[in-house]
Structure 1
Amino acid sequence: MQADKEWDLIRPERQSSAARASAGILRVALLFGFAAVALALIATPYLDSRTRPWIGQARFDGLDYTATGSVGRNASYTLRRSVLQDTPQAVCVIHDNGRRSGQC
């Protein structure tokens, strides 16, 4: 134990009690921060798997349910919008055979 005493003689305690207390508070804050992150990483997948069936059964009044569709593999078209048209929502659809529809 002689080496420990020599170290204390060479490098005496330089920190005040306030500095030691602030370092302790920082360590406790980091510990709780890491614990919160670990809990979030573990709890998120678990809670997601439990709530997903409920979301599918819920009815939300006032929502606009969007219908989706598909285009055949052989069909191709081009959508064009122009700042020169009367409304910004005006869309011109040009089909692969040159036929135009919409607001062209």
Structure 2
Amino acid sequence: MSLDKDWDSIRPDRSRAADAGMGILRLTLLFGSAAVALALIATPLLDSQMRSQSSRDGLDTMSTGSIGHRDTYTLRRSVLQPQPSSICVIRANGTRSGDC
């Protein structure tokens, strides 16, 4: 203990530097926790705004679905057809329907 007191008598600014380091650490932790809290609050709000905006634009976010296994078929579209929305349906037995 006497060595610490001797060092403090020689360099009294040592404790101030340690206190400043702790102050910076506390400030960093404060702003870091504030950033995490803001991210946890802002993410659901922004998500709900994006969903409402996409529903107003008529954008369907459904990307997967299921079809019964009773019938197998292939859908074909071609840029060579007169209408861009033309679809050709080819069934498993080879019959074609639609704009083939």
TM-score by length of 2: 0.46
TM-score computed with the length of structure 1 as normaliser: 0.45
